[in-house]
Amino acid sequence: MDAGPDSLSRFLLRGAPVRGEIVSLDAAWRTVVERHALPACVRNCLGELSAAALLLAASLKFDGMLVLQIHGDGPVALLVVECDAGGGFRATVKIREGAVVPEEARLTDLVNADGRGRFVVTLDPRTRSPSRQPYQGIVPFEGDSVAQVLEHYMGRSEQVPTRLWLAADDSRATGLLLQRLPEEGGRAAPSDADGWNRLCRLADTLRSPELLELPASQVLHRLFWQEPLHGFDQRACRFSCSCSRDKVASMLRLLGEAEVASILTERGSVAVRCEFCNLGYGFDAVDCAALFAGAEPHSAPGQSQ
């Protein structure tokens, strides 16, 4: 199975039976890294969460937006990844003002220092009517890594045995997912009683440097070269931010004319920066007047890095 950079591939280990996915984010992940100046330990956690989000979205076969959030009580207040069914994703982090992030901090040190961290999964169907709320699952933070947090969630919500192996650095974010498939009627397949455990033991030999340095096809070959592996579709993954000047304008209208006027008086213009892609949107007094007069702002989309 030839899996290239910035892609997610699905496969089936037929003898077990176990299904799997492997994702590699290369240029797409570097786009995120370049737009956020983050401590290495925080950056790597965000990369692992990005890879996990794409794997989870593909395993759910969900047509809409999947959002993974870790709400923290430590130096990191929030990690967020949004991804869609087409392989687009964006990610951001909120570090508490004045917080000191230890160089070798673990995920639990960053977001669950006092045991009050939470993990939130939101599913927003593409066809959802405005009157309906997206599905949201909130669970206590469990685990010492992004992979363990996701495994606990999947075990509680989907009741599907799921394992993940994740890794990230400044140039790549990668992940492997395995799920045990039930036989028809919900019974475990009898063809290979120890297949699930055996395949997980094989995957447990995988080390972060291998995930980060080897092509996905080589990772799968090293792990499962003796297994009947059947590859399925491959989809491209890309950084994709949905922010726009029109959306910022709508947000300013929701703030109200009085609040926007107050900002103009204090600062001379209104500047809004996207927390995901770091693009800036500027509105001067004429733009803001047009917002509340029902006209289009006169300025060209002034975006700044």
C-alpha to C-alpha distance for 1 and 9, rounded to whole angstroms = 9
Using one digit for the tens of pLDDT, what is the confidence trace for 211-241? 999 999 999 999 998 888 888 788 999 999 9
For 26-77, what is each residue's pLDDT tens digit? 999 999 999 999 999 999 999 999 999 999 999 887 789 999 999 999 999 9
pLDDT > 70 fraction of the chain, expressed in percent and rounded: 91
**What is the residue-averaged pLDDT of the chain?**
89
How many Cα atoms are found within 13 Å in the side-chain-facing hemisphere of 191? 12
Q: Are 299 and 272 in contact (CB under 8 A)?
A: no
Q: How confident is the model over 115-135, as a mean pLDDT?
A: 87
Query: What pLDDT shows up at residue 283?
Result: 93
Which is nearest to 286 in space by CA: 302, 273, 274? 302
Asked whether the whole model's pTM tops 0.85, one would answer: yes
186 against 105, higher pLDDT:
105
Domains and CATH numbers, the chain: 7-239 (3.55.30.10), 245-304 (3.90.1280.10)
